[in-house]
Every structure is written in structure tokens, then in C-alpha cells.
């Protein structure tokens, strides 16, 4: 707009502008693209500020823009029969008349209706396309967009076709000239195909050909995993088998003829490539197990390394894994690892050294909180990160247990109960050390299954008695008996052995012997009497039976000395005669 006087702060218009146009309330500009027709009408625009307002009248109408220009660019002079044809029109609509501006008091409006961008394929409202003469069979023109498309099924010499586009306000024409030729494909080749393809490697090779092709074929069959796309002629797939070089014939044809091409290639195993050791470190600790896993593409028959790896570290020639425990300190060196098969090799340098590092993360994962006196061979092995060469413990371990100063292994057989206590184990080397607190106790397993084998029901006065206890399991620290044993017999409170010579006749009684420790107890009842010394009586049939025994293993059980003293004497003599070492 063009206004005099003070600056307008607000702009309005009545009645509302045609659809697609709008008035900017700040600047007074009328902008937009009208989308519907409207008869000539008057529009009053008002400009105002705090001091007053001014108005102006605009008189204009909106009508459908007539087509002004029509063309088809990129049309070929000749299309092979069966080829895909696609021609897109470019439509230009007439712009609004410049004379409108002369009828406006102070505004200028651009009112081009439905102007389409060049090459648009969307229908323009109200537009209709026609063509003359008729297109060849297989081709058609869309009446709303003017697009010519299809696949011609018959030949036709060069012909000029007139396309007319029209709407309610006007029309435009364009001439399109082309021929449909009967042409066989030619010049088939695969310029990007190499002499060797590799297993497991995706392949896509496109053909080059002149003319239209309806179908591609190949003979003999391609190696497993490869395919010829019958519509596009491309070679695709992932070859899976090694195949020697072979020649293949590819045919491209349409209804008017065909062309062929000879291709030859072999399929070989993929050579190794991209060998790396992603977890490699610049330094590895001395005497600490280490592992490096390779990453490589392709098939590998063998891995090798040069120069040799540090002492204690090896390369697995089959898997490429580098592992071991470095046993010697060394400066950083470069080692070249190679992965190879019959078609190629991939190598990578590894640079690392071995140095002494302080041990860390010391643990004894097999440690129990409680051990038992006499427990067979306690063995607890440490786990530690870093090469520990010296081990120590404070305070000293319980009696019977010891710490190996070179390996840190705790072993031995506990000999006495010890309350729960902490023990600080330290693993160290020249670079430093680390410690772990071990807390455990030593207790005695509860005794079970107390017996006195060979006990008799009657013992003569003044006869030597010796009864030794046995237990099914556990260890006893104290033995006791109730009531008191006959005079002359005693029980050893530590070993449980009952011995001595009874000196007084005593009637049969029951004696309860108890073995106990801090964990528990077990008991057994013994019943016997003390009687007068009997005269030795020998059972002759027993003696005759012993005379037949020539092997100590067949002598049988020892007779009761108290109740069968005569038989016992014969048995003891015969056992000595058999030279029994006991």
C-alpha cells in the first residue's frame, strides 16, 4: 500500500478477500494465490492509528487462468517396441492482467490462479487434455494430466501428434513427434565384472545394453548363491562355494530379436582382511594371565606372528587368540600377526610390553567361615590380579595350617579349636602389594557312634583289661564314665582307653561312657562284672579246629580272655605260631 500522513498501526478490509488472499494487518500488504473464481467486487481497506483512519476501495474479480503454454521436453525421436514410454507435459497458465493495477487506488495485487510448477504431474482443476491422431497400441494419454505413457506393442513410423489442453477460459496446443521402431537389443556387456569373486562377499554387477529387453537368461547355471535377475539382467547374490573359472552365456531378448554376451569368472575363498585385536593394551602385567581376541573378515587357515611373543605368551595358530601368562618383563615391542589362506593374507602390528605391576583384588573365594579339628587337608587357593611373588599373614594361622610364601595357598590339618579371628594376608611384589582380611574359626566336629569292640560281660579279678574306643565320626576332646569303674580300672580322659586290673569282685553293672567336645557328645553303655579267676578250661574241639588253620587270615576272632581264658591262650599261641606280625 501507499499511504500518506502518520504511520498506520492496523489494517482491515471489508468484505473478506477472495479465498486464498489475505490482508497483512501490520503492513497492509495483500498477498496469496486465489483458489476460487469470484465476480468483480469492491473491497474497502482501512488504515488506522490512534489519531484516525483512512480508507481506499479496491475493485477486482478472480477468474480461472487460461492455459497459455504447453510443451513436452526430452521426447526421443524413436522408442523401441515394448520399451517403457513416459512423457510429462509442462503447462503454463496465464498471469493476472497488469491493467488491474491501474484500477487500484493504492494497492497492487498478484492474482495468478493455480499456477503449477514446471513438470508437475498433479491434475490441474478444470483442465482436459486430448491428442490426435490416436497413439500406437499400448500407449495412452491421461486426460487430466496430459501424461503420455505405456509400452507400444506395434511399430509405427515417425508421426506428429497434436496435444490440446483446454479449460473454461482458453486452450493451448503442443506437437509431439516420435516413432515406434522394431529394434532388437544389442551391445550387452558387464564392464564391472571381475575375474574372481569371493565366497561370503555380496555381489551386484549391472549390465550395459542398448535397446529394450523383455527377458534375460544365462547358461550354464551360475555357482551356488549367485543369480541372474531375469528382468534387470543384474548378477546378484552371495557366492557360497569355491568354483574354478568358467564361461557363461547371457542372453538379452525382446520380441524383435536378441543379443548375447560371454562372461567368465571364478569363485575363490574370501581372503582375510581387516585383521585387528580390538582389546589390545599397550602394557600387560607380569605373571598375570592375559588374552587377546582377533577380529578378521574372511576365512583364515593359519595365524602366525613375528618376532616370537614374550615368554609365557602364545598365539593359537588356528583361532588367532593370543593368551598366556607373561613370565618375563620386557620393553614395548612390535609383533606382526598375520592371518592367511590360499587367496591372501591380512596383517596387523601389535605393540605392547610386559612390566611388573602391584597385585590387586586379592580374594580367597574358597574360604569357609568354620573349619574342624582333624578336617582332612584344608586347601584354600587365592585369586589375585597382578603377579604376586611374596605372601605373608599376620597373625600366624592356627596350629596345623600354613600359608605358602610363594603361592599364597593355605593348607594343612587343624589340630585344635580356635575362636573366630581375623588374619591379614598380604600379596606383594617389587611394585607394591595388596591385602585381604580372612576371618574364620576352628572347631571340633561332634563325635558320633562311640563303641568299645571286644568288651566282655565278665572279667576275672587281677586279669589285665584293655578296652579301646572307636568312633564312627568326629573327634573327642574329653572322655568320662558314670558310675565309677570297678576298683583297679581307669578310663583315660583324653584317649578314652579303659585299662587296669580289677582287684575286687563286683556284680554286673552298667557303665555309661561319654565322648564329648565343644560341638557335641556321644555315649555308649558297657555292662560287665568282675568275678573270681576261673581255672583255665580248653575246648578241645576249638583247639583241634585251630590246628587246621594255616593262614592268619582264617584264624577268626580273638576269644574273650575273661570268660574263655583257656581258649584264649590256645588262640594266642597258634597266632604266634603263624607268625602274626601283630
Q: Cβ neighbours of residue 565 under 8 Å, at least 6 residues apart?
A: 460, 463, 534, 536, 537
Q: Which grid coordinates belong to 186?
A: 544389442
Q: Which grid coordinates belong to 486?
A: 570297678
Q: Cβ neighbours of residue 227 under 8 Å, at least 6 residues apart?
A: 235, 236, 237
Phi, psi (rounded to 5 degrees) for 547 = -60, -25
Neighbours of 15 (CB within 10 A): 9
Mind giving me the DSSP string for 84-103?
Answer: EEEE-EEEEEPPPPTHHHHT
Q: 190: burial class by Cβ within 10 Å (0-12, 13-18, 19+)? A: buried
What is the model's pLDDT at position 154?
A: 87
**What is the rounded end-to-end Cα distance, in angstroms, of the chain?**
136
What is the model's pLDDT at position 224?
A: 96
CATH tag for 273-355 (out of 2.60.40.10, 3.90.226.10, 3.40.50.2000, 3.60.21.10): 2.60.40.10
Q: Which residue has the cell 610363594?
A: 406
Q: Are 118 and 90 in contact (CB under 8 A)?
A: yes
* Alpha-carbon torsion, ordered 525, 530, 535, 541, to 10 deg: -10
| Residue ranges, CATH 2.60.40.10, the chain | 186-268, 273-355, 364-443, 448-531
Q: Which residue has the cell 468483480?
A: 40
Q: Are 118 and 291 in contact (CB under 8 A)?
A: no
**Which of 133, 131, 129 is closest to 159 using CA atoms?**
133
Q: Which grid coordinates belong to 409?
A: 595357598
**pTM for the full model?**
0.44
What is the model's pLDDT at position 114?
A: 34
- Say how far apart CA 413 and CA 444 lie, in whole Å: 12
Q: How many CA atoms lie within 13 A of 555 on its CB side?
A: 20
- Say how far apart CA 239 and CA 195 lie, in whole Å: 14
* 293 membership: H or E segment, kind and range: none
Tabulate helix, strand, coil % of the chain (nearest 5). Answer: 5, 45, 50
Neighbours of 400 (CB within 10 A): 18
Neighbours of 41 (CB within 10 A): 13
Q: Mean pLDDT, consecutive 10-residue segments, the chain of 582 residues? A: 86 92 92 83 92 90 86 91 91 67 29 38 81 95 94 91 93 95 92 93 94 93 96 95 95 93 95 94 89 93 96 96 93 96 95 92 93 84 87 95 95 90 94 94 89 89 90 85 95 94 92 90 94 76 81 79 73 78 58
Phi, psi (rounded to 5 degrees) for 389 = -110, -20
Is residue 100 classed as helix, strand or coil in its secondary structure? helix
- Say how far apart CA 575 and CA 553 lie, in whole Å: 10
Q: Are 471 and 450 in contact (CB under 8 A)?
A: yes
Return the CATH class of domain 364-443. mainly beta
Q: Are 425 and 434 in contact (CB under 8 A)?
A: no
What is the model's pLDDT at position 581?
A: 57
CATH tag for 448-531 (out of 2.60.40.10, 2.70.160.11, 3.40.190.290, 3.40.50.620): 2.60.40.10
- Say how far apart CA 252 and CA 357 lie, in whole Å: 71
What is the model's pLDDT at position 109?
A: 31
- Say how far apart CA 524 and CA 512 lie, in whole Å: 6
Q: Hey, which residues does 128 pair with through a beta bridge?
A: 166
Is residue 552 classed as helix, strand or coil in its secondary structure? helix
**CATH architecture designation of domain 186-268:** Sandwich (2.60)
Distance of CA 392 to CAs 363, 410, 531, Å?
Answer: 14, 11, 63
Amino acid at each position: 500500500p501507499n499511504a500518506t500522513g502518520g504511520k498506520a498501526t492496523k489494517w482491515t478490509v471489508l468484505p473478506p478477500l477472495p479465498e486464498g488472499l489475505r490482508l497483512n494487518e501490520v503492513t497492509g500488504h495483500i498477498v496469496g494465490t486465489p483458489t476460487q473464481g469470484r465476480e468483480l467486487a469492491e473491497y474497502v481497506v482501512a488504515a488506522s492509528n490512534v489519531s484516525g483512519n483512512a480508507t481506499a476501495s479496491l475493485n477486482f474479480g478472480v477468474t480461472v487462468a487460461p492455459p497459455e503454454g504447453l510443451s513436452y521436453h526430452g521426447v526421443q525421436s524413436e522408442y523401441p517396441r515394448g520399451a517403457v514410454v513416459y512423457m510429462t507435459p509442462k503447462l503454463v497458465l496465464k498471469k493476472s492482467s497488469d491493467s488491474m493495477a491501474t484500477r487500484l487506488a493504492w494497492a497492487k495485487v498478484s492474482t495468478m490462479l493455480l499456477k503449477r510448477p514446471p513438470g508437475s504431474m498433479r491434475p490441474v482443476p478444470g483442465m482436459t487434455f486430448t491428442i490426435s491422431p490416436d497413439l500406437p497400441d499400448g500407449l495412452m494419454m491421461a486426460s487430466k494430466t496430459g501424461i503420455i505413457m505405456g509400452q507400444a506393442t506395434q511399430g509405427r513410423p515417425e508421426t506428429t501428434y497434436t496435444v490440446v489442453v483446454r479449460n473454461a477460459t482458453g486452450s493451448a496446443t503442443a506437437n509431439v513427434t516420435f516413432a515406434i521402431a522394431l529394434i532388437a537389443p544389442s551391445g550387452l556387456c558387464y564392464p564391472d565384472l571381475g575375474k574372481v569373486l569371493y565366497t561370503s562377499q555380496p555381489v551386484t554387477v549391472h549390465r550395459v545394453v542398448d535397446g529394450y529387453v523383455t527377458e534375460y537368461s544365462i547358461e550354464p547355471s551360475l555357482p551356488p548363491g549367485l543369480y541372474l535377475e531375469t528382468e534387470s539382467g543384474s548378477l546378484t547374490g552371495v557366492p557360497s562355494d569355491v568354483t574354478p573359472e568358467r564361461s557363461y552365456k547371457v542372453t538379452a531378448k525382446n520380441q524383435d530379436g536378441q543379443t548375447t554376451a560371454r562372461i567368465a569368472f571364478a569363485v575363490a575363498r574370501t581372503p582375510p582382511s581387516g585383521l585387528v585385536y580390538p582389546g589390545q593394551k599397550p602394557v600387560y602385567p607380569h605373571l598375570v594371565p592375559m588374552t587377546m581376541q582377533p577380529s578378521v573378515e574372511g576365512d583364515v587357515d593359519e595365524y602366525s606372528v613375528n618376532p616370537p611373543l614374550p615368554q609365557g605368551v602364545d598365539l593359537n595358530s588356528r583361532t588367532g587368540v593370543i593368551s598366556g601368562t607373561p613370565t618375563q618383563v620386557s620393553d614395548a615391542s612390535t609383533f606382526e600377526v598375520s592371518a592367511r589362506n590360499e587367496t591372501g593374507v591380512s596383517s596387523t602390528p601389535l605393540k605392547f610390553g610386559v612390566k611388573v605391576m602391584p597385585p590387586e583384588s586379592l580374594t580367597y573365594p574358597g574360604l569357609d567361615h568354620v573349619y574342624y579339628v582333624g578336617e582332612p587337608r584344608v586347601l584354600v587357593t587365592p585369586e589375585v590380579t597382578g603377579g604376586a611373588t611374596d605372601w605373608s599373614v599376620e597373625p600366624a594361622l592356627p596350629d596345623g595350617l600354613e600359608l605358602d610364601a610363594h603361592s599364597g595357598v593355605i593348607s594343612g590339618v587343624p589340630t585344635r579349636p580356635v575362636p573366630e579371628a581375623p588374619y591379614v594376608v598380604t600379596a606383594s611384589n617389587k611394585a607394591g602389594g595388596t591385602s585381604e582380611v580372612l576371618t574364620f574359626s576352628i572347631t571340633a566336629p561332634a563325635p558320633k557312634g562311640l563303641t568299645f569292640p571286644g568288651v566282655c560281660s565278665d572279667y576275672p579279678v587281677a586279669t589285665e583289661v584293655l578296652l579301646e574306643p572307636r568312633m564312627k565320626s568326629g573327634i573327642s576332646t574329653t572322655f568320662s564314665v558314670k558310675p565309677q569303674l570297678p576298683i583297679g580300672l581307669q578310663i583315660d580322659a583324653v584317649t578314652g582307653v579303659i585299662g587296669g586290673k580289677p582287684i575286687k569282685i563286683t556284680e554286673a553293672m552298667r557303665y555309661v561312657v561319654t565322648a564329648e567336645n565343644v560341638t557335641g557328645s556321644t555315649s555308649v553303655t558297657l555292662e560287665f562284672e568282675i568275678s573270681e579267676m576261673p581255672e583255665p578250661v580248653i575246648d578241645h574241639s576249638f583247639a583241634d579246629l585251630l590246628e587246621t588253620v594255616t593262614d592268619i587270615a582264617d584264624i577268626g576272632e580273638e576269644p574273650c580272655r575273661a570268660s574263655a581264658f583257656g581258649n584264649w591262650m590256645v588262640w594266642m599261641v597258634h597266632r604266634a605260631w603263624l607268625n602274626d606280625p601283630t
